[in-house]
Amino acid sequence: MTVGPLVLLVSLAAATPPAAKPTPLPTTVDQTVQRLQQRYDSTKDLTANVVQEMEIASYGRKLTSKGTVYFKRPGRMRWDMTDGQRQTIVADGTYLWLYQPSEQQVYKAPFAAAFQSATPVSFLIGIGRIADDFTVSPDGQDESLIYLRLVPHAGDSIGVLRLGVDRKSYDIIIAEVRDAMGNTTKLQFSDMKRDTGVDDGLFAFHVPPGTEVVESPQTVQ
């Protein structure tokens, strides 16, 4: 899994009463971005199920995995991919840990180096802001989702992000990133839960016995 494309989720809001009027759609991209940012600014923690599809351009193949994600502000997240390509990714606010059981290796990098404000996941964990870090343009809509195209101000070498945002709740349901090599990562979220009091212990990574720790150059400086 590419760390940069990681993404989003939240809440199961109460069902809207049948007589209630739908929330008016924003008339501009700026209004959509503002409501999206407000949704995540007001979220302390969230969990969701996720399906990830990766298309590797050089291999001409698609890899699918499933798992659970957890976010807690500020600066913490955990991805447990247990069905398909197994991986655990943990950000504890100080380091990022990427564990691949099949390789018996864990990659360790400083949090600040892994999550610069220009990475798409940064606003989810309490750093960075969409309007400050991305150029946002409309990219279509359907009955349930508004689509946005986000290009980092730092340049599209980081990856161009496409978000599918729920028209009523402003939860992010779909996130798709295409990198400079033509590889695509698509994430789809379901069973979202918001502000449930996620245990801090989930964000403490313990290196399994017999696992090699590979540290990034920034870590060992």
Total-model pTM? 0.77
Q: CATH topology for 29-193?
A: outer membrane lipoprotein receptor (LolB), chain A (2.50.20)
User: What's the 3-state SS for the chain?
Assistant: CCCCCCCCCCCCCCCCCCCCCCCCCCCCHHHHHHHHHHHHHCCCEEEEEEEEEEEECCCCEEEEEEEEEEEECCCEEEEEEEECCCEEEEECCCEEEEEEHHHCEEEEEEHHHHCCCCCCCHHHHCCCCHHHHEEEEEEEECCCEEEEEEEECCCCCCCEEEEEEECCCCCEEEEEEECCCCCEEEEEEEEEEECCCCCHHHHCCCCCCCCEEEECHHHHC
Question: Does 201 or 23 have the greater pLDDT score?
Answer: 201
* pLDDT bracket for residue 194 (50, 70, 90): very high
37-92 pLDDT, tens digit each: 888 888 889 899 999 888 887 777 888 899 999 988 877 889 999 887 788 989 88
